[in-house]
Amino acid sequence: MEVTVTQRAEGDVIGVATADGALAGEEGELLEAEGFRADAGAATLLHVDGKRVAVAGLGEEIDADAVRTAAAAVARLTQRIGGTLGWQLDEKLPIALDEQARAVVDGVMLGGYDPGRWKSSHDAVEFERLAFAGPESDLANQPPNELTPAALAERAQEIAAGSPHLTAESGGPERLAELGMGSFGAVAQGSHNPAQLIVLRYDPPGAREDLVLGLVGKAVTFDTGGISIKPALYMEDMKGDMAGGGAVIAGIGAIAELGLPVHVLGIVGATENMPGGYAYRPGDILRAMNGKTIEVVNTDAEGRLVLADVLWYAREQGATHLVDLATLTGGMNTAMGDLYTGVFGNDDAWRDQVVAAGNRSGDHTWPWPMHRRYRRLIDSSFADMKNASVRGQAAPVYAAEFLKEFVGEGPWAHIDMAGPGFLRWPRPDYFPQQGGTGWGVRLIAELARSLT
């Protein structure tokens, strides 16, 4: 979708966000006649002077999220019209005009996203221009028979091809073995679809040489739980267990498209977690790339095993500031639901910078604690640590403490995005469909911008 800025909103549809009673003139009279209330997410289509005007409510708390929700409602209301959407920014709102415009783009792209492109009767019409992009299919919604680890690596190559300063490469099981990635490699060995270590490097001119943003993503393209198999109910949602890796790939693509002057290294561990004759087992002891040993207690705690090697590799390759994104624990979903993610870190200032970037961008985050006394939870009688616990205590913190063993020296933040990364049920805002949300892409771009 092309985005332009004009002095006056023009298009096949004009979008307006309003609080109750804020519209005057003919629009206000029409709204009053039909009893329209400007609740958050409410929308209606008016015909005024030969123009179609889509009016959406902002509700009582007017902020960027309210604007996103209003724009999403307009996108859904007028989705079959297509053409040009003109949006009238309002200087009377308590939000800067540039932030309004950004929120509108977010809302139109996310709220107008249609996950049903695999339907044989799919005929959705999209807006071609937003005056004042149609959204690409979210990677997390692609079926696992299409989005294999190799296919995700190909997508990274396609994104890199669009920028002169971005490169992508990948390697399979032989590369994992060569690097000594015994933890990641164990998760991958039960699948017939080979794992991929995906590496993206963005090196633009004018970037600081003393800072390399390392972005690490878990991309389990389908997670059965392995031998510790998951319940059948909702297992189809496990195609979304690669949402963190997908966000890293798309986020670096966004950084390159924006031309931000910051060195970025992206490392994504892509694999399936499958049962089978070659699958790893509870009781196995694995040796990670950094030499530490891990007792496998539960093969469904596989994401942290993938990230263990990938985090160490990112630091080894020169990342000075690390962030990992992963749909890691059901405990985070239980605690924070589908709106906020939890952020952990070994450096409070870096953790807080990541949290602030997320909240500015609309990818909402919340800081979680880490304390040295949590370390006892991962103790093993047989190895340096174990990958799970039967206690059921502090599961998200447990996972973060495990990952901390593999981050090396320097600032690191861990984002557990199990709730917002893939929605089991639609949300009543700008995510009206279940499935992948693209969560993390906006955070990544905003974080990179804050480092320039």
Residue 10 · residue 86 · CB < 8 Å: yes
pLDDT tens digit sequence for 274-300: 999 999 999 999 999 999 999 999 999
Of 140, 168, 165, nearest to 156 by C-alpha is 168
Number of C-beta neighbours around residue 105 at 10 A: 18
> What's the whole-number mean pLDDT along residues 11-26?
76
Cut 0.85: pTM above it: no
Q: HSE-up of 170 (CA within 13 Å, CB side)? A: 23
E strand or H helix that includes residue 263: strand 263-273
The pLDDT of residue 123 is 64
- DSSP-assigned letter for residue 64: H
**CA dist 37 to 22, 31, 32, 166, 233, Å?**
11, 8, 8, 48, 39
- Catalytic one of 76, 201, 218, 304: 304
Is residue 305's pLDDT more than 70?
yes
The pLDDT of residue 10 is 65
Catalytic annotation present for 117 = no
- How far is the C-alpha of 63 from the C-alpha of 322, rounded, in Å? 30
Catalytic annotation present for 119 = no
The pLDDT of residue 262 is 98
E strand or H helix that includes residue 27: helix 25-33
Q: SS3 of 286, please?
A: strand
The pLDDT of residue 329 is 96
Residue % of the chain over a pLDDT of 70: 94
The pLDDT of residue 9 is 57
Report DSSP letters for 67-117, one per residue.
HHHHHHHHHHHTTTT-EEEEE---TTSSS-HHHHHHHHHHHHHHHT--S-T
Of 196, 202, 238, nearest to 217 by C-alpha is 196
Residue 440 · residue 244 · CB < 8 Å: yes
E strand or H helix that includes residue 303: helix 303-316
- Catalytic one of 52, 230, 287, 292: 230
Of 400, 398, 437, nearest to 419 by C-alpha is 437
The values of phi and psi at residue 173, to 5°, are -55, -35
